[in-house]
Structure 1
Amino acid sequence: MGHHHQHGHSHSHTDLKGRNLLISIFLNVAITVSQVIGGFISGSLALLSDALHNFSDVLSLIISYIAARLGKRKASNFKTFGYKRAEIMAAFVNAATLVVVAIFLMKEAVERLYKPQVIESDLVIWLSLIGIAANGFSVLLLKKDAEENMNMKSAYLHLLTDMMASVAVLIGGILMKYFQIYWIDAALTMLIGLYLIYMGYDLLKESSKVLMLFTPKSVVIQDIVDSICTIEPVKNVHHVHIWQLNEDEVHMEAHIDFKEDIKLSEFDLILEKIEEHVYHKHGINHVNIQPEFNKCDSKNIIVQD
């Protein structure tokens, strides 16, 4: 059995990531409270829907913050992988909430389209401006981390879509104030809902693939098998499993049949070659190999349950 690890995140970076999340949480709590109050006073469904989305942002950011903290915990006898999947689970939950919130908003918007209401547009305009400013600042805080971490991407998407929602609410407020087009409030809510589903579905799909232990898109198992077989004295590679543990780790386990009955010391040297090979060419940073010689099992099954 062999293993090879590569770690890419420092504690200082994680601490900075946590601080940025905390700032975003406090900003979104303030926005949510102000928009709920303003939504009831003005009668704006778009403003209330934006407040609901903001509330889901608060929950998602809290989940992301807890997951980021859990991810730093070390493995134990009862948790041999530690909490390395915590951030993937957070991404999945946050993506799911985006879709659920979107469906709820669209249902409310359809009902409001049949019964448009007069709305206090001045309050809507001012509160949407506050939402744009606060969420825009939060988006800038999380943008860099979102490029390399699925959990942070889920939090970033919540904030980005809410900033876009606030922009839509602002446009609606202006149209209601100057042109008395009150149905635009529900129409914009529908657009916000569709956009949330569009953004949430892709992240939900990607996080689901990791949780289901699917092989990463970038990995072609047959190519790996063929390349390992070029290393002497490897005869056959079979019973391969490749999965993504989290953002940073891709694991591989396989049975390797050798042409001759090699010594354990020789196997160690071959294993080192395999580890370096699959890491540099295929991005796999943890390898488990079961060596075999003349074992009576099928050598033709590359992938097996």
Structure 2
Amino acid sequence: MGQDHVHIHKHQVEGKNLYYSIVLNVVITLAQIVGGIISNSLALISDALHNFSDVLSLVFSLVAHKLSRRKASLDQTFGFKRAELLAAFVNAATLIIVACILVYGAIERLINPHPIESTLVIWLALLGIVVNGLSVILLKKDADHNLNMKSAYLHLLTDMMASVAVLVGGLLMKFYGWFWVDSVMTILIAIYLIVVGSDLIIKSTKMLMLFTPDNIDIKAIVREVHKIEGVNKLHHIHVWHLNEEELHLEAHLDCSEDIKMSEFNDLLFKVEEVLFHQFGINHINIQPEFKKEDPKDYIVQD
């Protein structure tokens, strides 16, 4: 049975940036809650609620990040490498839940409108833009390489956009008296949250369910491996993400000749090179066979 001999360079995620973002979001959450109550602005309170969900998601992401770095053991042979996928899934779900709560509150406010202190709304919206913008900058680089960090990043990015929407609404209320804009902006914020949350929850669910990655073509893998001299048929194939850094493949390899194990090692190395360089698969587990009586389909239900 073969094991991987190649590894993909890993981007080192900076967990310390999560600490800074948590502190910044606690500050803005408290400020917006107080300001929302004083100004009677639902959009501001909704922004604060989203910020609070940011704090929870950032804490969850930080815990998952720490867990994912723990070493494997006899009881956890993969360690906690999938913790960040779970965090991404939960964070995406909270985005959608928060959005639904915001829509309900906005519709209720449209039916029963209230006067709003727009000046306070404007200043706190500006504060939200600055704080969330700084947090977005802190996490941007890590978000490009890690789904957990991307979930935290999206929480912050959408909240910054929400603050922009609140600012626009505050200006319209101040200069035109359009208090209904507060509820409309809240609904638009919620719709955007649902869109980005749904995309993230689909991606994390696919990884948690061990689905074949979207960028992997099983038939293309088979075609390339079958070009290698000594290979008869690759079958019983599974390809999945353990986490975003580790792409695994396990399969049975039926050899064309009854070769020695040392010769199979050479054959396996050629297979590993093809799978790594052409498909980015960096953890490979191959079961060697020769004329074994079993199904030879690419995909076999175990």
Query: With structure 2 as the length reference, what TM-score do the two structures score?
Result: 0.97
Aligned to 2:299: 303
Preserved contact between residue 8 and residue 282 of structure 2 (Cα < 8 Å): no
Measure how far apart 1:9 and its partner are. 3.2
Aligned counterpart, 2:102: 105
Q: What is the CA deviation profile of residues 256-276 of structure 1, one whole-angstrom value per residue up to 9, with x for unaligned ones?
A: 111221101001111111111
Matching residue of 1:3: 3
What corresponds to 1:47 in structure 2?
A: 44
CA distance in 2, matches of 1:220, 1:7: 19
Question: Of residues 161, 180, 184 in structure 2, which corresponds to 1:183?
Answer: 180
Letter in 1 for 2:10: H
After superposition, where does 1:38-77 map in structure 2 within 5 Å?
Answer: 38-77=35-74
Name the structure 2 match of 1:240. 237
Cα distance between partner residues in 1 of 2:95 and 2:288? 46
State how 1:33-182 maps to structure 2 within 5 Å: 33-182=30-179
* Aligned partner letter, 1:262: I
| Deviation at residue 237 of structure 1 after TM alignment | 1.2
The residue type paired with residue 125 of structure 1 is I
Q: Does structure 1 conserve the Cα–Cα contact (< 8 Å) formed by 2:106 and 2:183?
A: yes
Question: In structure 1, what is the equivalent of residue 16 of structure 2?
Answer: 19
SS in 1 for 2:15: helix
Change (3 A) 1:282 1:7: closer
Q: 2:29 aligns with which of 20, 26, 32?
A: 32
- Aligned partners of 1:152 and 1:126: how far apart in 2? 29
Deviation of 1:7 (Å): 4.7
- Amino acid corresponding to residue 25 of structure 1 in structure 2: I
Q: Deviations over 1:162-198 (max 9, x none)?
A: 0010111111111111111111110100000001111
Shift of residue 199, structure 1, vs aligned partner? 1.1
The residue that corresponds to 1:292 in the other structure is 289
What amino acid does structure 2 have at the position aligned with 1:231? I
SS in 1 for 2:235: strand
Deviation at 1:298, TM superposition (A): 2.1
2:62 alignment partner, SS class = helix
SS in 2 for 1:53: helix
Aligned: 1:228 with 2:225: yes
Rounded Cα–Cα distance in structure 1 between residues aligned with 2:34 and 2:142: 33
5+ unaligned residues in a row in structure 1: which ranges? none
CA–CA separation in structure 2 for the residues paired with 1:8 and 1:31: 37
Report the Cα offset of residue 88 of structure 1: 1.0
- Greater alpha carbon shift after TM alignment, 220-229 vs 23-32: 220-229
SS at match of 1:303: coil
Aligned-partner Cα distance in 2 for 1:9–1:250? 12
Aligned identity (percent) is 58
Look up the match of 2:214: 217
Q: TM-score, normalised by structure 1?
A: 0.96
Letter paired with 1:8: H
Q: Could you tell me how far apart the structure 2 residues matched to 1:8 and 1:41 are?
A: 51
Read off the aligned partner of 1:76 and give its amino acid letter: S
* Letter matched to residue 123 of structure 2: W
CA RMSD across the alignment:
1.1
List structure 1 runs of 4+ shifted beyond 4 angstroms.
none
Cα distance in 2 between the residues matched to 1:185 and 1:277: 56
- 1:95, CA displacement in angstroms? 0.7
C-alpha contact (below 8 Å) 2:67/2:80 kept by paired residues: yes
